[in-house]
Amino acid sequence: MAERKATELMERIVSLCKRRGLIYPSSEIYGGINGFWDYGPLGAELKRNVKELWWRSLVHHRDDVTGLEATIIMHPTVWKASGHVDTFTDPMSTCRHCKKLVRTDQVWELLAEQPWGQAIAKLCPGGQYQRQPLWQWARGKGIRLAPGLALICNLDAVLARLDAKAAQPGTLPQTPEQLFCELATLDPATTGQVTPCPHCGGELTPPRRFNLMFKTNVGPVESDDNVAYLRPETAQAIFVQFKNVLETSRQRVPFGIAQIGKAFRNEVTPRNFTFRSREFEQMELEFFIRPDEVVAQLAGAVARLADLNGAANLTQPQPNWGWEVWHKYWVEERIRWYESIGLPRTSLEEYWQKPEELAHYAKATVDILYKFPFGTQELEGIAARGDFDLTQHQKTSGKSMEYFDEEAKAKYVPHVIEPSAGVDRLILALICNAYTEDLAPDDKGKLEPRIVMRFHPRVAPIKVGVFPLLKNRPELVRKALAVRDLLRPHLTVFYDDAGAIGRRYRRQDEAGTPFGVTIDFDTLGEQGPELQDTVTLRDRDTMKQERVKIDELLPRLLPLIR
Amino acid sequence: MAERKATELMERIVSLCKRRGLIYPSSEIYGGINGFWDYGPLGAELKRNVKELWWRSLVHHRDDVTGLEATIIMHPTVWKASGHVDTFTDPMSTCRHCKKLVRTDQVWELLAEQPWGQAIAKLCPGGQYQRQPLWQWARGKGIRLAPGLALICNLDAVLARLDAKAAQPGTLPQTPEQLFCELATLDPATTGQVTPCPHCGGELTPPRRFNLMFKTNVGPVESDDNVAYLRPETAQAIFVQFKNVLETSRQRVPFGIAQIGKAFRNEVTPRNFTFRSREFEQMELEFFIRPDEVVAQLAGAVARLADLNGAANLTQPQPNWGWEVWHKYWVEERIRWYESIGLPRTSLEEYWQKPEELAHYAKATVDILYKFPFGTQELEGIAARGDFDLTQHQKTSGKSMEYFDEEAKAKYVPHVIEPSAGVDRLILALICNAYTEDLAPDDKGKLEPRIVMRFHPRVAPIKVGVFPLLKNRPELVRKALAVRDLLRPHLTVFYDDAGAIGRRYRRQDEAGTPFGVTIDFDTLGEQGPELQDTVTLRDRDTMKQERVKIDELLPRLLPLIR
């Protein structure tokens, strides 16, 4: 039930995104292209704002982080050194029946999304196989079998087998997966071992590894010598240019290099709207720190998390912090940032990866998750990667990645903390978080349902709507245009003179515009001089309107959007 | 001579770009990758500023332009419809001798860049072949033959042939090209017909067409069914999403859609630093207008360029403008914009393509050129493309691209004016334009050469340097940090406390920082209360310093950088 509600909610959000020009399917007139999405007029502004705020908070407002903008196509050896050529793979199977490709590790997840997969799951309530409901279901009481499943499923044989098992305690299917295997296969020898195709129930081939990097060739003739890859992450460019930045930027360890840019992953099954797409954008920071032993040599003691009294200590970076304190610092910094752009702390989760989940080079990884309607999923990973990446590039290129620390009089390969965020999934989180349905009075005061996008003013695509009360009164229009021109150099303005004022408000509510300014006859001084050059300022969320002097609009609004 | 100077100047600029963190070769530690360049800390800021100013001027400061951010990989049919799959090709030859690939239409240009190509050119002064200088040159008086040329060039045979021709007026080589052909070939039957390799002088194969689009495959299995391309331009995405934007943005024709993003061209010979690279960024506007016949129907007469009295009329768009007026309007708008970010009008040229140079669908194209040290080259093309693109996509997709004009009560496919600019070449123009060598006094007042990057404050990567006079006086440092924190929310600040103040100024001059703020003992009130809380504000270009109150810094600086 909750699941259906979540699916319906996502459908309404996807529909709003299309209708309001936030997100369109890429190449829609040609039937779209799976895993690629375009940002429309509002979406492009929302994305620009988010990237700008990230960059401002990390690069402009700090002395210890500097920017970089590297190419998407790099020398292919970069990806050999980083390990991506050899290990950036997913397991993939082909269905022998319907020939579709499936990510083998996602089969059960995909299955659970199919209506018939959900039906099967219901046949094992509490891990108890029940013959009667299965029988009813299979005989067609309202639930259609998947076409492929119907073809290969010999139900009488399956039921006979299950009856036989019922005689031997412990051998009956305990889970939907096990039951599905019973249904999907005719061959008792492989029962419970065959993975079913989530699309048709057919048999999948054993998994093969396939590399997620998009391949291309640089130069006019395709050959093995000039293969190149579209970067699957922006991070490696930062490691590759570490020495150049160090030598030209006057930075000293600890310091960071930040980059925003496109990355590409040839996902087998892109899904959840823009959450997992094939072309996406990342915002990555590599923050280089002293190895603990250098800190110890310098400060006598390494500040460890256990030594510090709570989070209060974690706002002012200290040179004698050990890696685990830096790591925790960045986790907290990043969560603070998400809160600053309007994601409530309660919508976020902090997930510390278990030792067995960590990549072999990682000392610790924290995922910051957002509670999407389709599940709680990762927005950002913050990994303590040690000196793995710089050392790999040093080994492969033969170029030193060492840093000479003048204060410590020591030469070392810096360690790194990597806060790595996905722009598109953050945009999706902001959209899900902003989406609200409530009631608002129409022009006659009757309450009607409205959709409001409660974007934080900082990220809202349009900051203020400017409306002359009537479009056929030149003096109102002239004044409204003057207000538009006053505000426009400082914030994004949408000027709208079409239709009843209530409908214009409603349109801006759906666009998530936090403020509305209406120029009426009072503004012109027709009700007396005390209201002259005042306008109504309307708040999107409370729908309250107040009278504000035109001169006071900028001083009032600017602090709210910065 | 002028050419050598230009080459030396470019070398100094490239070196500064590396040294100051403007531009690095991509993947430099792996030997680089031809045609790919990264932007370092200063370059990334410069590029951000330029893109932001373009977007602000076109999208935020106008009611009639809206933004879009589409994917780099689109449905492959997009490029079939646009004509790119069939015709976006360059002619390419292979050298039979050195096996290098060469763009056949660039041979003579590339040749002219080789020292021996230049030497040959000198042998035909004023179109006159002179036997003696050729002889002297060929016998090795200080100029080395290209290795391949030496191998295949039988000089005695060539000279004998030339002597024979001298007897027949009009048959002697008149141009470096003709002379080169005489030198490069042993076979008199093909003399003057063989194109020489610009690298070695060897014989090139006849040209083949090769497509400039980077190819990849979407989905795990490479097959002809899932070939896709990296977009070679951002424009097509705008046409493909035209209807979606129209339906969701409340725009009416005439209106425009703007996009900034990466594009890729698999150039055979990337060259001139970042000017012609394989991965680059574009800023494109498609401005949709009424066809002239619709304007005529509506207004009775189409406003033509010839009817208007000079440029003064061209600043306020009018609905009854014909396409040629809209085209001229955008040419002037764009030139104004280049001037607004610091490129003097005298550094720009406006080139109206001749009828025989136009693409078959274009009604008119104007190139805006910049006088680079390596030649006067295109920054932006402004094309009147008629309804070609929308019509192509309508035909291929079967989806209507028609617009219903409520005012004209007419349905039509809009026509389009396309101002299309390259970000990277603009950045290079701004760098070349800013680069200046002059003399400045050192700390002892002695004049020393300095490099100043005279970036317009609007585009300068860092807006203001903040310097405490001495780093070992806590009260100066404290005050300087307060000034930094005051300015930082509004403009990019570089805080520097290392070294003599003169050297800190010099560093910011090289970075192109227009303003420097120094906090000294006067600031602290040590010379009396009247100077308390004042700082010196230094101008990069004039090097003049004046005393300014801290409170006045922002009101003073902000208007200069916006």
CA dist B527 and A368 (Å) reads 53
B2-81+214-430: CATH topology: BirA Bifunctional Protein; domain 2 (3.30.930)
Check residue A104 and give its pLDDT. Answer: 82
Q: Map A291-339 to HEC letters.
A: CHHHHHHHHCCCECHHHCCCHHHHHCCCCCECHHHHHHHHHHHHHHHHH
Locus of tokens 């409306």: A467
DSSP B374-410: TEEEEEEEEEEEETHHHHHHHHHH-----EEETTTTE
Paired strand residues for B288: B255, B416
Q: For residue B114, give the nearest of B98, B136, B128, B130 by alpha carbon.
A: B98
CA dist A125 and A4 (Å) reads 18
CA dist A535 and A547 (Å) reads 6
A462-561 belongs to which CATH class? alpha beta
CA dist A131 and A146 (Å) reads 20
Check residue A106 and give its pLDDT. Answer: 78
- Give me chain A's average pLDDT, please: 87
> Taking CB atoms and an 8 Å limit, are A217 and B219 in contact across chains?
no
Q: For residue A34, give the nearest of B73, B541, B311 by alpha carbon.
A: B73
Check residue B159 and give its pLDDT. Answer: 63
In the three-class reduction of DSSP (H, G, I as helix; E, B as strand; rest coil), residue B562 is classed as coil
Check residue A71 and give its pLDDT. Answer: 98
Instruction: Write the burial class of residue B349 (CB in 10 Å: 0-12 exposed, 13-18 middle, 19+ buried).
Output: middle
Q: What is the pLDDT of residues A396-453, one digit of tens each?
A: 999 999 999 999 999 999 999 999 999 999 999 999 999 999 998 887 888 989 999 9
> Taking CB atoms and an 8 Å limit, are A75 and B268 in contact across chains?
no
Locus of tokens 């006057």: A250
Please tell me if residue A262 touches chain B, with a CB cutoff of 8 Å. yes
Please tell me if the domain spanning A2-81+214-430 has the same topology as the one spanning A462-561: no
**Closest residue in chain A to residue B38, using alpha carbons only:** A70
Asked if the peptide bond before residue B254 counts as cis, ω within 30 degrees of 0, the response is yes
Distance between B224 CA and the closest CA of chain A, angstroms: 14
CA dist B154 and B167 (Å) reads 21
The pLDDT of A494-501, averaged and rounded, is 94
Phi-psi region of A154 (alpha: psi -120 to 50; beta: other; left: phi over 0): beta
**Hey, how many other C-beta atoms are within 10 angstroms of the C-beta on B480?**
26
CA dist A167 and A129 (Å) reads 13
Bridging pattern class, strands B255-264 and B279-289: antiparallel
Locus of tokens 């890859």: A229
Check residue A6 and give its pLDDT. Answer: 85
CB B452 within 8 A of CB B509: yes
Q: What residues of chain B score a pLDDT lower than 50?
A: 124-131, 133, 135-153, 185-193
Please tell me if residue A64 touches chain B, with a CB cutoff of 8 Å. no
In the three-class reduction of DSSP (H, G, I as helix; E, B as strand; rest coil), residue A246 is classed as helix
Provide the pLDDT confidence category of residue A177 given band limits of 50, 70 and 90.
Answer: low
Asked if the peptide bond before residue B474 counts as cis, ω within 30 degrees of 0, the response is no
Locus of tokens 């017909």: B193
CB A304 within 8 A of CB A84: no
Check residue A97 and give its pLDDT. Answer: 79
DSSP B368: E
- Its pTM surpasses 0.95: no
> Taking CB atoms and an 8 Å limit, are A74 and B495 in contact across chains?
no
CA dist A33 and B75 (Å) reads 6
Distance between A42 CA and the closest CA of chain B, angstroms: 8
Polymer length in residues for chain B:
562
Of A219-233, A236-250, B300-314, B546-560, the least confident? B300-314
**Hey, how many other C-beta atoms are within 10 angstroms of the C-beta on A84?**
20
Distance between B484 CA and the closest CA of chain A, angstroms: 10
What is the sign of the dihedral through the CA atoms of A460, A461, A464 and A465? negative
Check residue A315 and give its pLDDT. Answer: 85
Residues 135-194 on B with a CB inside 8 Å of A are none
Residues 304-333 on B with a CB inside 8 Å of A are none
**Closest residue in chain A to residue B31, using alpha carbons only:** A75
CB A254 within 8 A of CB B252: no
Check residue A184 and give its pLDDT. Answer: 52
CB A123 within 8 A of CB A129: yes
Count helices and strands (H / E) in chain B. 19, 23
Check residue A409 and give its pLDDT. Answer: 94
Phi-psi region of B61 (alpha: psi -120 to 50; beta: other; left: phi over 0): alpha
Q: For residue B22, give the nearest of B437, B470, B428 by alpha carbon.
A: B428
Check residue A186 and give its pLDDT. Answer: 36
Provide the pLDDT confidence category of residue A162 given band limits of 50, 70 and 90.
Answer: low
Residues 475-534 on B with a CB inside 8 Å of A are 488-489, 492-493, 495-496, 498, 507
Paired strand residues for B287: B256, B417
Alpha-carbon Rg for chain B, nearest whole angstrom, is: 29
Q: Which two tokens stand for residue B215?
A: 């190819």
A393 contacts on B by Cβ (under 8 Å): 29
Whether pLDDT at A197 is above 80: no
> Taking CB atoms and an 8 Å limit, are A74 and B26 in contact across chains?
yes
Check residue A488 and give its pLDDT. Answer: 95
CA dist A48 and A55 (Å) reads 11
> Taking CB atoms and an 8 Å limit, are B397 and A60 in contact across chains?
no
Residues 35-54 on B with a CB inside 8 Å of A are 35-45, 47-48
> Taking CB atoms and an 8 Å limit, are B48 and A37 in contact across chains?
no
Instruction: Write the burial class of residue A358 (CB in 10 Å: 0-12 exposed, 13-18 middle, 19+ buried).
Output: middle
Check residue A138 and give its pLDDT. Answer: 47
Paired strand residues for A29: none
Q: List the single best residue of A17, A24, A30, A561 to mutate versus B (max B Cβ within 10 A).
A: A30
Q: What is the pLDDT of residues B242-297, one digit of tens each?
A: 999 999 998 999 999 999 999 999 988 888 999 999 999 999 999 999 999 999 99
In the three-class reduction of DSSP (H, G, I as helix; E, B as strand; rest coil), residue A14 is classed as helix
> Taking CB atoms and an 8 Å limit, are A562 and B77 in contact across chains?
no
CB B244 within 8 A of CB A28: yes
Q: For residue B412, give the nearest of B497, B296, B316, B306 by alpha carbon.
A: B296
CA distances from B80 to A419, B85, B163 (A): 41, 5, 54
Check residue A416 and give its pLDDT. Answer: 98
CA dist A528 and A521 (Å) reads 10
What is the sign of the dihedral through the CA atoms of A104, A385, A239 and A316? positive
Whether pLDDT at A294 is above 60: yes
Q: What is the pLDDT of residues A342-358, one digit of tens each?
A: 999 999 999 999 998 89
Distance between B137 CA and the closest CA of chain A, angstroms: 36
- The domain locations on chain B are 2-81+214-430, 89-209, 462-561
For residue A245, give the nearest of B41, B218, B399 by CB distance: B41
Q: What is the pLDDT of residues A41-82, one digit of tens each?
A: 999 999 999 999 999 999 999 999 999 999 999 999 999 999
Q: What is the pLDDT of residues A458-481, one digit of tens each?
A: 999 999 999 999 999 999 999 999
Q: What element of type H or E holds A546? A: strand A545-549
> Taking CB atoms and an 8 Å limit, are A230 and B210 in contact across chains?
no
**Hey, how many other C-beta atoms are within 10 angstroms of the C-beta on B110?**
16
Please tell me if residue A103 touches chain B, with a CB cutoff of 8 Å. no
Q: What is the pLDDT of residues B202-214, one digit of tens each?
A: 778 888 888 999 9
For residue B244, give the nearest of A40, A248, A507 by CB distance: A40
CB A416 within 8 A of CB A386: yes
